[in-house]
Amino acid sequence: MNTKNQNSKIVLVTGGSRGIGRSIALNAAKRGLGVILTYHSNAGAGEAVAAEINAAGGKAVALKLDSSQVGSFAGFSERVLEVLKQNWNRENLDYLVNNAGIAQRSLIADTTEEIFDELVNVNFKGVFFLTQKLVPLIADGGQIINISSGLARFAFPGVAVYGALKAGIEGLTRYFAKEFASRKIRVNTVAPGAIDTEFGGGKGDEAHRQQIAGMTALGRLGEAEDVGVLVASLLSDDSRFVNAQRIEVGGGIYI
C-alpha cells in the first residue's frame, strides 16, 4: 500500500468495520486511497481494519457512527474534519460510500412499527441526512456510492421493508446526482447480490446456500471481496463519466 503520498484521494466508508464495508476499505487502501471507516457497536473490529491498513503502509482512521442518530451527524462531520486536518492536512475528502446497513428477517404480518422504524432510520433516513451533512466536505468532482441490494430489483419473503428502502436508495441516488451535479459530484449505486457475510445472521444452512447458488448464474454466493474490489475500482477518475447508475454485483442472481 502507498497512501503516504500527500496527494492521495480519501474515502469515507460507513460500516467499514466488517463484511462488505471492510473489504471496500481494504481494497481502497490497496489502491492508495486514505481511508476513514466507521463502526457502530464493535469498536475493536473497526480499529482492527484501520490497524491492518496502517500496518501495510496505508493510512486509515476508524470513527464511531450510529446511522440511526441524525442528531449526532453534525458532531460526526466536525470529527471527520479534524481527522482530515490531522492525518492528511486537508479539509475535504473525495469519496463517500454509504454502506452501513441492517437486515430484516420478518414477514409483513410480523413486522412491528419498531422494526420498520429501525430499518428506515439506518437504511434510508441515515443515508439521506449523513450525506446532507457530509456533502460540504466532499471535494468538487468527488463521488458518492450508495450500497443497495439485489432485493431492490426482485422480491423475496421476509424483507419487504428492507427491499423497498433499498429501491428508495436507488431513487435517491438519481436525485443526489441531479442536485450535486453543480459541483460535479457523481453519485452511483452498487447493488450486491447474495454475499456471504454475517449480515442478518448470515446465509443459513448448506441447503439454503445451495438454493441461493442455484438461483445465481455464476453458481455461487458472493464474497465480500467481490463487492469490495468493484467499489474500490469505481473510486477513481477511471469512472469519471459514470453517473446516476446502478451496478449489480451478484453473479447474475434471479436473471
Ligand X SMILES: NC(=O)c1ccc[n+]([C@@H]2O[C@H](COP(=O)([O-])OP(=O)(O)OC[C@H]3O[C@@H](n4cnc5c(N)ncnc54)[C@H](OP(=O)(O)O)[C@@H]3O)[C@@H](O)[C@H]2O)c1
Residue among 3 and 68 whose Cβ is closer to ligand X? 68
Residue among 156 and 175 whose Cβ is closer to ligand X? 156
| Residue 162 annotated as catalytic | yes
Q: Of 25, 37, 103, 38, whose CA–CA distance to 69 is shortest?
A: 38
Grid coordinates given for 3: 497512501
Burial of 169 (0-12, 13-18, 19+ CB in 10 A): buried
Min dist. Cβ of residue 67 to ligand X (A): 4
Contact 212, 203 (CB under 8 A): yes
Cα torsion angle, 220, 224, 225, 227, sign: positive
Would you tell me which residues interact with ligand X (CB under 6 A)? 14-15, 17-21, 39-42, 45, 65-68, 99-102, 122, 147, 149, 192, 194-195, 197-199
Grid coordinates given for 108: 409483513
Residue 111 parent element (H or E):
none
Give CA–CA dist 241/250, Å, rounded.
Answer: 23
Min dist. Cβ of residue 133 to ligand X (A): 14
Residue among 8 and 149 whose Cβ is closer to ligand X? 149
Catalytic residue, chosen from 39, 162, 175, 254, is 162
Give CA–CA dist 121/119, Å, rounded.
Answer: 6
Contact 99, 24 (CB under 8 A): yes
Min dist. Cβ of residue 89 to ligand X (A): 27
Min dist. Cβ of residue 106 to ligand X (A): 15
DSSP 205-218: SHHHHHHHHHTBTT
Give CA–CA dist 90/208, Å, rounded.
Answer: 47
Residue among 57 and 202 whose Cβ is closer to ligand X? 202
Residue among 65 and 161 whose Cβ is closer to ligand X? 65
Residue the block writes with cell 452498487: 190
Rg (CA), the chain: 17
Min dist. Cβ of residue 66 to ligand X (A): 5
Catalogue the active-site residues: 162
